[in-house]
């Protein structure tokens, strides 16, 4: 009886340990990307428990321009979380040898150079899989590893343009409007890369082999645009800017200015929600005209616009939330970070910082058990270079020599 009880106790302890282990604990990621989709991808993996080593050139400040703004080499910079930073010159033979050493025990490599660059350096997938056949190697580029655009330079705005997102964003008759965040980089490339990496890791569990992942940021935008592209391919119906139900076609799915010069969003798609909206706005007679065209739709639009100008944004939110109407205030950054729902969900957190004492940060959007947590802060580029090299077996003398030759930083 005692033996049975002991077995149960041991099993319970093991289960408890598993329940507190982050999902990706034990997974090592080498991140050679700079801005945009790569760092967004690896930040997600880091939040899930992966060990992320961010590899950068020894002296990034020499690039100047945006790099020095995005990556200021300052001791009071909050920097990257859940990662370590390693300054490494991959153009130097000694730098590549260090990279090869890291790859022997790594699970994932993420790079964001133009096609052909990593091959010229000898750190491409075909080279690395000889060292580690189980490696999952993701290349993130604007247009992919093949095709006529493969060597074109670009940024988020260009991929949104080619992928059609920019063309449909904005008001009818107006010019295209640039989204407020880099949707192609983050929602497209970064999320797609993270998803593909997780799938490849799962496949490796079955086969024992890694694989190469080719992420085209433009491809991901086209995938996100399928809601409008597929109807055109199937029926020849092409949507126009500002003339779809998602971009201002109807009064019940729109944004309105309020008395205090703020804005409110309405998304009353379902008939019941639309009916509630009309009742609370004092126009029951509009209920049967949800999909009216021409003058009637113009009348509904005109009434909505005029009516919302009679009260403040927050007054309207309070009124319209008396029933289900799908209403929400349009927040500024200053307002959203104090929103009670986001605070309750842990999306804004105050965390200890080794230099600043504490900082507020956006929490993880991925809710798993156990939840993600800040395991370490990187406050400077190259902060963990010596630590990583010592773990690889280098001594202080060799590290000093590598630093003098600018192989590391």
Rounded CA-CA distance 58/86 in Å is: 8
Residues recognised as catalytic? 185
Rounded CA-CA distance 115/118 in Å is: 8
Quick check: 88 and 407 in contact, CB under 8 A?
A: yes
Phi then psi for 111, rounded to 5 degrees?
-135, 155
Strand-strand pairing, 80-81 and 83-87: unpaired
192-228 in b/e burial notation, b at 16+ Cβ within 10 A? bbbebbbebbeebeeeeebbbbbbbbbbbbbebbeeb
Quick check: 67 and 36 in contact, CB under 8 A?
A: no
SS3 238: coil
108-137 in b/e burial notation, b at 16+ Cβ within 10 A? bbbbbbebeebeebebbbebbbeebeebbb
Rounded CA-CA distance 113/408 in Å is: 20
How close are the terminal C-alpha atoms of the chain, in Å? 61
Tokens of 234: 């199937």
Tokens of 243: 């003339």
Quick check: 178 and 248 in contact, CB under 8 A?
A: no
Quick check: 291 and 251 in contact, CB under 8 A?
A: no
From residue 103, alpha-carbon distances to 38, 99, 109, 140, 354 in Å are: 18, 6, 8, 18, 29
DSSP 247: T
Phi then psi for 307, rounded to 5 degrees?
-70, -40
DSSP 187: I
Neighbouring-strand partners of residue 110: 31, 138
């Amino acid at each position: 009886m005692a033996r049975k009880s002991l077995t149960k106790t041991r099993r319970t302890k093991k289960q408890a340990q598993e329940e507190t282990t982050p999902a990706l604990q034990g997974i090592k990621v080498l991140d050679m990307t700079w801005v945009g989709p790569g760092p967004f991808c690896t930040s997600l993996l880091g939040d899930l428990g992966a060990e992320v080593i961010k590899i950068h050139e020894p002296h990034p400040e020499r690039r100047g321009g945006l790099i020095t703004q995005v990556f200021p080499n300052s001791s009071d910079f909050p920097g990257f979380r859940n990662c370590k930073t390693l300054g490494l010159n991959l153009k130097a033979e000694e730098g590549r040898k260090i990279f090869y050493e890291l790859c022997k025990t790594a699970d994932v490599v993420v790079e964001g150079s133009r096609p052909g660059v990593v091959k010229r350096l000898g750190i491409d997938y075909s080279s690395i899989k000889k060292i580690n056949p189980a490696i999952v190697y993701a290349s993130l580029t604007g247009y992919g590893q093949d095709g006529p655009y493969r060597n074109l330079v670009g940024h988020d705005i260009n991929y949104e343009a080619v992928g059609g997102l920019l063309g449909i964003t904005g008001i009818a008759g107006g010019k295209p409007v640039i989204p407020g965040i880099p949707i192609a980089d983050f929602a497209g490339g970064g999320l797609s890369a993270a998803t593909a990496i997780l799938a490849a890791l799962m496949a490796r569990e079955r086969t024992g082999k890694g694989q190469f992942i080719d992420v085209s940021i433009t491809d991901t935008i086209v995938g996100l645009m399928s809601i409008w592209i597929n109807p055109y391919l199937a029926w020849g119906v092409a949507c126009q800017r500002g003339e779809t139900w998602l971009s201002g076609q109807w009064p019940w799915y729109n944004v309105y200015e309020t008395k205090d010069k703020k804005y409110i969003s309405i998304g009353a798609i379902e008939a019941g929600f639309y009916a509630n909206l009309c009742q609370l706005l004092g126009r029951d007679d509009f209920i049967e005209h949800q999909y009216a065209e021409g003058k009637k739709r113009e009348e509904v639009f005109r009434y909505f616009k005029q009516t919302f100008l009679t009260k403040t944004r927050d007054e309207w939110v309070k009124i319209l939330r008396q029933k289900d109407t799908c209403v929400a205030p349009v927040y500024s950054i200053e307002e959203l970070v104090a929103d009670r729902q986001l605070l309750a969900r842990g999306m804004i957190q105050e965390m200890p910082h080794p230099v600043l004492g504490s900082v507020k940060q956006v929490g993880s959007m991925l809710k798993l058990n156990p939840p993600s947590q800040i395991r370490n802060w990187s406050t400077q580029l190259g902060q963990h270079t010596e630590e990583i090299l010592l773990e690889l077996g280098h001594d202080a003398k060799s590290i000093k020599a590598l630093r003098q030759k600018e192989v590391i930083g």
